[in-house]
Amino acid sequence: MCGIVGYVGSKNAMPVLLEGLSRLEYRGYDSAGLALQRKEKIEVFKKAGRLDALRTLLPKRNAATTGIGHTRWATHGAPTDLNAHPHTDSSGCVSIAHNGIIENAGELREYLTTRGHSFASDTDSEVLAALIAEEYGNAGSLLAAVKASLRRVAGTYGLLAMHRDEPANIITARNGSPVVVGVGDNEMLVASDVAALVPFTRQVLYLEDGEIASLSAKHHEIHSLEASRPGVSQRTPSVVDFDVTLASKGHHDHFTLKEISEQPEALERVLRGRIDTRFKTAHFGGLNLEPKELLSFKRIKILGCGSAFIAGSIGAAMIERTTRLPADAESAAEFRYRNPIIEHDTLYMAVSQSGETFDTLTAVQEIQRKGGTVLGVVNVVGSSIARQCGAGIYLHAGPEVAVVSTKTFACTLCAFALFALYMGRMRDMSPAEGEAIINALTQLPEQMRAQIASPDPLRRLAQKYAHYQRAYFVGRCEGFGLAREGALKLKEISYIHAEAYPASELKHGPLALIDEQTPTFVIIPQDDLLTKNLSTIAEIKTRQGPVVAVSQADMSDKPDVDDCIAVPKGHPLTDPILLLPPLQFLAYYAALERECDVDQPRNLAKSVTVE
C-alpha cells in the first residue's frame, strides 16, 4: 500500500511529482523515489525514510518533463534505499512505480533470471520491471509490453511504467489498487488518489480494474487488459470537487489536532439537507432503495476495517436500539475470507473513510457477486468502494489526512444516527421520538464545539497517564465500542499498549492484570447501565487500579474514581459522538508527551489498498 504519481507534459516534472507525493505521504511514508525521463535517459532517485530524505538527494533543477514517483509502505522487503520505488530493470530501460502485491513474483523471478535479468532489491515489484523489459523485446511498444506482462501476473496493482525509448509516454494499469488520471492543459497526470492531482487539475477519470491506459501530454487511451475485449476508449473526465485548504494543516501543529477540531463543522455537513422536520425523519439522496425495499430487510450487517469497523459496530448498536432490527458489524477482512452466507433479506453496509480499503472493497464485491444488496458509507467521493456500491451515504467529512481517523469516525456515527432515525420512522418509531432525535442531532455540532473549545484539562490528564506502559478501556454496549476506539487511538499514536474489554468481561480474565501500574478508562454514558459501571469501577479499585471515568454522569462524589472527564449529555443516539473527543484528545496529548510522530505513526498507513 503506497502512493504513486506520474506526470507527462510540458512542465518540469520533478516539482509536480514532489507536490503530488507530499499529498500522498499518508498512504505510506517509509521510503520514496522519483524516476525522471528526458529524451532517452531515465534518472532514478530514491531513499529510505520520509519524503524530506528524498529531497536532500535531488538536484536543484531537472529538465525532465516526464516522470513517475512513489511513496512506500513496505510489504515485501524492508524499507531500504534499494527496496524503494521506482524500480528499473537491470538494463535500465524500464522504470515502474507499483502499488499492490505480485503474488507469483518468486516464479517470475526464476524465469527472468534464466533470461539474463538480475535483481537489486527484495521486492516483488522489481520483477514487474524486468518482465516488462523482457516483453518489450517481442511487443515493440511499452503499451503492448505492459499488457503482455500483466497477463502473466497474479496479484494486485496500481502501476505506472516508463520506457527509455518512449520519453513522452506513461502507461498505467489498475487491478485492485486505485488509479486516477488527471487531464490538464497540455499535460496528463496520474496518481493513486485525487489529492495528488487537484493542485494541477480538477478534470479526472478513474480507471477500473482490468484497464490499462496510455498517457501522453495531449492524449489518453484506455484499453481493456482482457484479450477478448481489445477495444480502445477515450473517456470523458469528470470534475472533482476538492477543497485544498481542508487538506492543509492551517495553523495547527498536526493534522490530527486540526481534524479533531474540525468535527463540529464536519458534523454540520453530514446533517446538512438530511433532516426532514415535517415528517420527523431523515432523508438521503443516494440510497437508491425505495421504502418498500428497505422495509423488506430483516437484518443489517455492517462491514469495515480498523476504525471503520469499530464505527460500524457502534452504528449497528444504534440501529438495533432504535429500530429493533437485528444489526451487527464484522471486520470486512474476516468476512470476505469465511465464504460468507449472503442473505437477501439482509442489508449490508460497507464503511470506509478512503473508499479504497482493499478488504472492504473485496467484501463488497463478494456480497454483490452473491446477489446481496450493499450500501457504502464512505467519505471520499468517487472512490472505489463508493463506485462499486453505486449507492449509499457520503459522509462529507472533508479530507482526512492524519493516519488515525477522528472526524470521519464522528461523522460515520452521525450518519448511522440519521440512518437509524430514517429506518426507525419507517418502522414503528413515533413522530415524538423522531423529533427528539432531530433535536439532539441539531444540537450536536454546537455541543461538540463547546466541548472541544478547552482541551487543557485533557492535556494535563494525558500528561499524567502518558508514562504508564499499558492501559485498559472498558465500557458496555455502545460504550464498549467507544472503549475499542479509545484503546486503538492510544496504541496507534502513543504506542502505549491499550486493550479494550467489555466492562462485564473484566472479571472473566483481565482483572488478573489490574494493579497500580495499569490505569483503566471507563466509558460511562448516562444510561440505565450506570450502576453496573459503578460496580466495575469498584472491582478495579479493589485491585488498586487507577480509574479514569469518561462520563456523562456526575462522578464528583465517587471516591473510587481517580480522575473524571465530564462529557455533556445528549440523546442515546448522539451520546457516543459526544463521548468521543476526550478519547481522541487523550491519545493525541499522550502521543505528544511521549514525543511520537502523531500524524504518521510507525508501521501504519492511512488507507490500506493491499490484502
Catalytic positions: 2, 606
> 211 to each of 194, 276, 359, 399, 447, how far by Cα in Å?
18, 42, 20, 27, 47
Q: Which is nearer to ligand G6P, 357 or 584 (CB)?
A: 357
Q: Which is nearer to ligand G6P, 403 or 565 (CB)?
A: 403
- What 3-state class would DSSP assign to 461? helix
Q: What is the 3 state secondary structure string of 245-274?
A: HHHCCCCCCCHHHHHHHCHHHHHHHHHCCC
Q: Candidates 14, 150, 257, 308: give the one binding ligand G6P (CB under 6 A).
A: 308
How far is residue 271's CA from residue 532's CA, in Å, rounded to a whole number? Answer: 34
* Closest distance to ligand G6P from the beta carbon of 604 (Å): 5
Whether residue 211 contacts residue 159, with contact meaning beta carbons closer than 8 Å, is answered with no
> Does position 608 bind ligand G6P by CB under 6 A?
yes
Q: Which stretch binds ligand G6P (CB under 6 A): 113-121, 125-133, 301-309, 553-561?
A: 301-309
> Does position 574 bind ligand G6P by CB under 6 A?
no
Q: Which helix (H) or strand (E) holds 98?
A: strand 94-99
Q: Which residue has the cell 449529555?
A: 569
Q: Which stretch binds ligand G6P (CB under 6 A): 10-18, 53-61, 363-371, 601-609?
A: 601-609
Whether residue 503 contacts residue 479, with contact meaning beta carbons closer than 8 Å, is answered with yes
Q: Candidates 84, 606, 609, 610: give the one binding ligand G6P (CB under 6 A).
A: 606
How far is residue 480's CA from residue 499's CA, in Å, rounded to a whole number? Answer: 11
Q: Candidates 307, 494, 533, 584: give the one binding ligand G6P (CB under 6 A).
A: 307
> Does position 169 bind ligand G6P by CB under 6 A?
no
How far is residue 374's CA from residue 95's CA, in Å, rounded to a whole number? Answer: 39
* Closest distance to ligand G6P from the beta carbon of 29 (Å): 12
* Closest distance to ligand G6P from the beta carbon of 605 (Å): 6
- CA–centroid distance for 483 within its chain: 20
* Closest distance to ligand G6P from the beta carbon of 352 (Å): 3
Q: Candidates 397, 404, 471, 537: give the one binding ligand G6P (CB under 6 A).
A: 404
Q: Candidates 149, 256, 354, 552: give the one binding ligand G6P (CB under 6 A).
A: 354
Whether residue 603 contacts residue 558, with contact meaning beta carbons closer than 8 Å, is answered with no
> Does position 353 bind ligand G6P by CB under 6 A?
yes
Q: Which stretch binds ligand G6P (CB under 6 A): 67-75, 156-164, 335-343, 354-362?
A: 354-362
Q: Which stretch binds ligand G6P (CB under 6 A): 224-232, 286-294, 547-555, 602-610?
A: 602-610
Q: Candidates 99, 357, 362, 447: give the one binding ligand G6P (CB under 6 A).
A: 357
Q: Which is nearer to ligand G6P, 135 or 499 (CB)?
A: 499
Residue number with the shortest CB distance to ligand G6P?
306
Q: Which three cell numbers stand for residue 185?
A: 492543459
Q: Candidates 37, 125, 362, 405: give the one binding ligand G6P (CB under 6 A).
A: 405
Nearest to 162 by CA among 277, 36, 290: 36
Rg (CA), the chain: 25
Site for ligand G6P in 27-56 (CB under 6 A): none
- What 3-state class would DSSP assign to 226? coil
Provide the residue count of the chain: 611
* Closest distance to ligand G6P from the beta carbon of 601 (Å): 8
> Does position 596 bind ligand G6P by CB under 6 A?
no
The residues facing 44 across adjacent strands are 35
Geometric angle at alpha carbon 485, from 400 and 506, rounded to 5°: 175
Q: What is the DSSP letter of 207?
A: P
Q: Which residues of 576-602 are buried (b: 16+ CB within 10 A; e: fewer)?
A: bbbbbbbbbbbbbbbbbbbebebbbbe
> Does position 604 bind ligand G6P by CB under 6 A?
yes
Q: Which stretch binds ligand G6P (CB under 6 A): 62-70, 306-314, 367-375, 543-551?
A: 306-314
> Does position 552 bind ligand G6P by CB under 6 A?
no
Q: Which three cell numbers stand for residue 506?
A: 473484566
Q: Which stretch binds ligand G6P (CB under 6 A): 88-96, 300-308, 334-342, 430-438?
A: 300-308
> Does position 600 bind ligand G6P by CB under 6 A?
no
Q: How many CB atoms lie within 10 A of CB 430?
A: 11
User: How many residues belong to the site for ligand G6P (CB under 6 A)?
Assistant: 16
> Does position 607 bind ligand G6P by CB under 6 A?
yes
Q: How many CB atoms lie within 10 A of CB 338?
A: 9
Q: Candidates 74, 403, 444, 591: give the one binding ligand G6P (CB under 6 A).
A: 403
Q: Which is nearer to ligand G6P, 378 or 565 (CB)?
A: 378
Q: What is the end-to-end Cα distance of the chain in Å, rounded?
A: 9
* Closest distance to ligand G6P from the beta carbon of 305 (Å): 4
Q: How many CB atoms lie within 10 A of CB 25?
A: 19
> Does position 306 bind ligand G6P by CB under 6 A?
yes
Whether residue 566 contacts residue 539, with contact meaning beta carbons closer than 8 Å, is answered with no
Geometric angle at alpha carbon 576, from 572 and 581, rounded to 5°: 145
Q: Candidates 121, 261, 360, 584: give the one binding ligand G6P (CB under 6 A).
A: 360
Q: Which stretch binds ligand G6P (CB under 6 A): 98-106, 305-313, 319-327, 494-502?
A: 305-313
HSE of 601 in the Cβ direction (CA atoms, 13 Å)? 22
Q: Which is nearer to ligand G6P, 549 or 598 (CB)?
A: 598
Q: Which is nearer to ligand G6P, 366 or 560 (CB)?
A: 366
Whether residue 550 contacts residue 563, with contact meaning beta carbons closer than 8 Å, is answered with no
Binding site for ligand G6P (CB under 6 A): 305-308, 352-354, 357, 360, 403-405, 604, 606-608
